[in-house]
Structure formats: structure tokens, C-alpha cells
Structure 1
């Protein structure tokens, strides 16, 4: 993990004004009490923000780039269970008082993140109702995301299955801006997530691209119409 020296408190404040929970904390409180405690970090592609079993020490916001949440199988394969860009991750073990993270968080490509110490996170959660409600909605969305992934994996039509798996990954609070609706995952990871073979995955991606729902690039997929993807039957 590398910490850049170029970020100032002014930079952090400007970025915070655009984040998805900006309206939950009074601006004077954020500038005087929270910003001085934030730290900015840079990660290279494939570098871990944390690993399963690490002790949770901070809430982490993805300021640039994207990260994946994944579990490593007994065979050593990393199976993606969630992705995020422009959002914040790692709140569950902080809220639940869990001793360890239950999954890995890994940079999908060059990533800039900001960390909020656990003590600051707990203070905001306990003293600002709007912030607490945001966290509740965020965790509810993550729960729905996992249920949508499980349901999508039971779909018999392969293009629909792949579309719903992608839509389940790119949820509104995990990818809160239209320009962030892009993920960089290998077809091997995506085939494991969707529980389809790589050949059938490739065919399904071609079908969805022909329908104008996604754009497929080298090791990256951009979702063009999230609502349509989620509503396919």
C-alpha cells in the first residue's frame, strides 16, 4: 500500500462533497472533526486492501478505480462476490464487532482509497441519525445483492443469467455514478460467479452487447442499461 503525499485536506473536502453520504454529516463537523482523521492510499491492480482474517480497523471509500470483494476457494481461485466503485466498504465487521474480515478486498485496477478510523466511524454512526440510516440502507442493499446473485445463478437462460449476475454486482450504492458502471474482471472469474462455462459466457456477453446492454472491452465490461439488465426475463 502506498500513501500519496499530494492530497490535501482541501482535496478530501472537495471529494467528500460528492460522495454518496455527504448530506448525512454537517459540513462543519466533517471539516473540523472527520477530515483530519482520513488517510488516502493508492493500490496497484491485484493488491489487497485487506485479506480474509485481517482485523477490521477502518471504513474504506473507493475514490478512484474499483475493488472486488472475493472469497478464495480451497483450490486457490478467487471467486468474486461483489464489486464497488465510488462507494465505501468494510462496514459490516465494524458494526457487528467482528474480530476479522470474512472476505478479501482487492483492487481491480489502479485504485485510490480513503480510510476512516474505526473510532471515527463509530462516533458518526452513534451520533448522526442520517449517517446511521445510510449505513442501514447500504447493508440492506448488500444483502439484496447477494440474494440477487443466488437467484440469478438458478436462471436457465444463459444470457439472462449473465445479465442478472452483472446487474447484481453493479448495485446503485456500490456503483453510485453512471460513469462508474464498469468492472474489470476476467472471464474466468465471471464464469465462476455466473456458474456457466467460459464458452457459454462469451456467447452470452456477445448477445448482451448486440442488444446494446453492455460494452465488452479487454478484461472489462461496461453496463450501459442497468435497469434493463436487471429486468430481463
Structure 2
């Protein structure tokens, strides 16, 4: 812990929420969604909602100016004077600022190899929260962004693991149905027998109907039948 206390502080301290809210109201800060660059982890843009459907983009460069903001965080930024604005290319000029604080943290999962750097350039170098988390946060909160290790997804190259990584990285829900959802379903003994249940329904049980969903699908809602008609046509 002593080594931690004496280590070099990399980032400026985050401002309190009350000061950020007052700064946004006074116009000192602008608030928007931080979008990390896919090409350069030292650069990103802040998308600020403008009048109507127009959005304004503010360029943020340098690790200290990013101030631990992660992709999709809601961030408050203090604008530089216009003479300090720079352009990411020689063609386009963007407003430039420095992140004052992260107003709302993005809690999406980031999947990284255990012995590699993150596989997305949008992700800054980060530390994984350990058993020391509570102690470290009391000492100092102005280092690199803090991550929390959840679980071991699996082995690289494994089909199931690689599939789950893709689902996690693109925020695709794939968890098993909860008991609350399953409770909405009829019991396993349910069957359509009563006349009131058949009212308004066309009885297709005599037809050969097959599902077109992939094998293993638990949400079978796509099915069709094909029947030759007497006139030579086919009913699908």
C-alpha cells in the first residue's frame, strides 16, 4: 500500500457532481457521450446533442485530457479557447476540450485476452480490480480506469467461447430466460382443446409444418408448410 501511495499520479482529479451540474448550467462545461477512436486510444470525440436533430462533436486528445473516460460514458468537458482547437486531419476542424469528469459510467463488458492487450483500440490500458479494490479507492482515485474481473469466458479458439465473446462485445442478450419470464408461459400440460381456445384460429394440425429456425433454437417462431393444390399450384 505504501508503494501505491507514493506512485505517480497520471490524471487530474475528477470534479464533484455538484460542480459539474453547475458548470453545465452556466455554460462552462458541455455534456455528451464520449466516443473513443477506433484508430487511436489517445483520442476521442464528445457527441453533444444540439438543437433539433443536429449533434456537435468535440475533439479530445491526449491521455490526461481523456481523464479515464471510456467509450459510451456520459462526460462533461470544459472547452478550450478556439485558438487551441486542433484537427484530427488537415481537412476538418473540430471543437476541442478536456474531460472534467465522467458523469455516468458505461458498464458494458470488455473481453480481453489474459496475456494480450485489449483487442479494441478504443479501450485504454486498464487495471483489473482485485481484493485490494476497497483499500486502493480510499487512497487514490486518479490513476487509470478501474475494471472488475467477472469470470473466465473460456479458451481462445473454442467455438462456444468465441461465440460468447462476439455476443458480449456487441451487447447481445444471451442469458437463459429468467424464472419471471418462464412464469408467463402456460404449464407443460397445456393443450388447445376447448372450443373457446380454438375460436378465431385456423386449425393447421393436419398439415405437415416444419420450423425454419436453426437447430437448438429455443424461440421457435418461424415455421411454414408446403401443400400441392388440385389446380397445380402450391400453397406455402
The TM-score bracket by the shorter chain reads under 0.3
TM-score normalised by structure 2 residue count: 0.22
TM-score normalised by structure 1 residue count: 0.22
Larger Rg: 2
The structure where helix makes up a greater share of residues is 1
